[in-house]
Chains A and B, each alone.
Chain A
Amino acid sequence: MYIEHLSLVDFRSYAQAELAPSPTGTTVVVGRNGSGKTNLIEAIGYLATSKSLRGSPSEALIKIGATTAVVRGQVVCPERSRRVGIDAQLRIGARDLVKVAGQPLRRIGDLSEVVVVTVFSPADLDLVQGGPAGRRAYIDDLAVSLVGRRAAMYAELERVLKQRNSLLRSVQISGWKPGRTLPVDVVSTLDVWDHKLVEVGELVVKTRRDIVAQLGPILAVTYCQLAEGDRPGSRSSVALTYRPSWDAPLADAVLRARSDDLRRGVTGCGPQRDDLELTISGMPSRTHASQGEQRTAALALRLAGHRLLTESRGTAPLLLLDDVFSELDAARSQALMENLPTGQTILTTAGQLPEGITPAAVVKVSNGRLEQ
């Protein structure tokens, strides 16, 4: 699967732009800081997910002064000999209008049938340095990209937590104090939400563990490929472990946490609090790894997810690497380019390419214009 052609109208810094990236090789987008490289990545990301990769509201994607932005892409699936047009209109004060092959998009998940992207951006350092929420989102996004219908499971977990937390807060508002007995109705309703939480929670944890198990070996290889560039022969091992925030079984843990939950008005036990631990040579990367190691690990996480998706779908997602060389030294940049997965890749850079690398296509960005 690849993007054959992309056209933008009034999207971020672009009044009008056309891009025809190399179908199977690497397209390098070169431009100075602030020239609009990331905006191009964001446009492709929008095409694949119908939302902003940076979490901006759609209105922020429209060029200042314009009222409508248009993102159009032609996606080619050679393995199914299909060519599909995606056509998105973003309007101020109205809902985004996304059409796939001329038909209005019914569910965002349906887009993943047509186009899937893996995105790396410098902000991904947060996967290693930041809190558990980012790592959970990484695994959960991957789970849904692998099997789209898992989205229903995550939606159910979120809804159950919302209901349970509402109930906990309503108990607080009713003036209940720890130590007093709870009304029978509250106890039996809590029982019900606990049951639902355990039911869907165990499914989520099982899914995450499955993915961690599949991802582990791929991640180890990917990290070595990147890190060995500067220290030939060195063997830094990277491992990924799922760390539940509770002791099994979940049903008992939820029940034990009930009095704390009632006091705090929030569900403190369950998959929504779990973490994913990343170690480099046996040490927790969050606290013990150097900046360089952390950057490499973050990139390796994205690339490993990309490879897992490629394996399971039988076709590579579109790989978007934003400002990736700013994260790596010369040796690791070289190692990255030599070990890039097959498939369409678009990467942006403000500086020079590593030596000896000749990309399939180079696009220059300046003043909101693309020059191919």
Chain B
Amino acid sequence: MYTAAVQDLIDELGRLPGIGPKSAQRIAFHLLSVSKDDALRLAHSITVAKERVSWCRRCFNIAEVQAGLHPGSGLAQHAASEPAGDAHTVLCDICRDARRDPKVICVVEESRDVVAMEKTREFRGLYHVLGGAISPIDGIGPDKLRVRELIARISPEGVEEVILATNPNIEGEATALYLTKLLEHLPLKVTQLASGLPVGGDLEYADELTLGRALEGRRTIGG
């Protein structure tokens, strides 16, 4: 229907998450209608991001290489499926920050969870990004996550506490449970983010599971 170049562009855009065929078409025609400079600026920023951004070799958070430093080709693949090697020579900003406490590691599912945690400005330790959660439906078992890499950090880095901060959904809870069992033999403290009632919510609207968990995780404030 379209010329090959246009169809290619639509197909590529359509592969992006959340973009259906209609949106792909609309974006493609938008890109064709803007000036060449505008379009190339987008292409350039994708290229630069792909060249500079990689995964932190320590915590697997997003890490950026300083301009001029090129850590090699084949960057930013999903690191779990890639042999550890020259692609992981970078450290992320958090791991490089000497003021952070390396004895506490907060385990999250994705890099965007690191951003969420950082926004609180409450946490001063380091992170470990698993790259997902256990979900047999999606074919994700512990072997597909960066679990081995987490265990390997514990003793060399002198970790004293691991905070499990996976998502409070079924898969996240299952992952936390799996990690708890894995870590319980090691000489360290394992904690999990409190789960329960949302701030600003109403008790009467909480479902029974949420309320049950909030009750289970209650804390003493007096007496």
Contact = CB atoms under 8 A, between A and B. Distances in A.
Co-assembled chains A and B: yes
Interface of A: 147, 149-153, 156, 159-160, 162-164, 166-167, 170, 185-186, 188-189, 191-193, 195-196, 200, 203
Which 3 residue pairs of A and B lie closest in terms of their CB atoms, listed nearest first?
A166-B136, A167-B136, A149-B207
Interface in B164-180: 170-171, 173-174, 177-178
Contacts of A185: 141-143
Given A152-B207, A163-B174, A167-B141, 14 more contacts: A149-B208, A151-B207, A152-B209, A153-B207, A159-B170, A163-B135, A163-B137, A166-B136, A188-B142, A188-B181, A189-B136, A191-B181, A196-B177, A203-B209
Contacts of B21: none
B182 A188 contact: yes
Nearest to B182: A188
Given A153-B207, A170-B136, A192 B177 contact: yes
B177 A195 contact: yes
Nearest to A185: B142
27 contacts: A147-B208, A149-B205, A150-B207, A152-B208, A152-B209, A152-B210, A153-B207, A153-B208, A153-B209, A156-B209, A160-B170, A162-B137, A163-B135, A163-B170, A167-B141, A170-B141, A188-B142, A188-B178, A188-B182, A189-B134, A189-B174, A189-B178, A192-B134, A192-B174, A196-B173, A200-B209, A203-B212
Contacts of B181: 188, 191-192
A150 B212 CA distance: 12
B201 interface: no
A23 B42 CA distance: 63
B83 interface: no
A162 B136 CA distance: 9
A150 B173 CA distance: 19
Nearest to B212: A203
Nearest to A193: B174
B111 to A, nearest CB: 24
The size class of the interface chain B forms with chain A is 20 to 34
B52 to A, nearest CB: 35
B208 A156 contact: no
Interface in B202-217: 205-210, 212
A192 B136 CA distance: 12
Interface in B120-137: 134-137
B139 interface: yes
Contacts of B182: 188
Nearest to B211: A149
Interface of B: 134-137, 139, 141-143, 170-171, 173-174, 177-178, 181-182, 205-210, 212
B136 A164 contact: yes
A100 to B, nearest CB: 17
Contacts of B177: 192, 195-196
Among A147, A151, A162, A188, chain B packs the most CB atoms within 10 A around the CB of A188
Given A185-B143, A191-B181, A203 B137 contact: no
A93 to B, nearest CB: 14
Contacts of A193: 136, 174
B206 A149 contact: yes
A152 to B, nearest CB: 4
A167 B170 CA distance: 14
Contacts of B173: 196
A167 B138 CA distance: 10
B141 A189 contact: yes
A296 B178 CA distance: 50
A150 B210 CA distance: 11
B207 A196 contact: no
A39 B48 CA distance: 61
A163 B171 CA distance: 9
Nearest to B181: A188
A293 B57 CA distance: 71
A162 B174 CA distance: 13
Contacts of A156: 170, 209
A166 B137 contact: yes
B3 to A, nearest CB: 29
A136 B29 CA distance: 53
A107 B205 CA distance: 14
Contact of A196 (B135, B170, B205, B212): B170
A172 to B, nearest CB: 12
B217 to A, nearest CB: 14
Nearest to A163: B136
B141 to A, nearest CB: 6
A191 B175 CA distance: 11
A193 B210 CA distance: 19
A150 B207 CA distance: 6
A138 B174 CA distance: 30
Given A189-B142, A192-B178, A150 B170 contact: no
Contacts of A189: 134, 136, 141-142, 174, 178
Contacts of B207: 149-153
Contacts of A167: 136, 141
Contacts of A164: 136
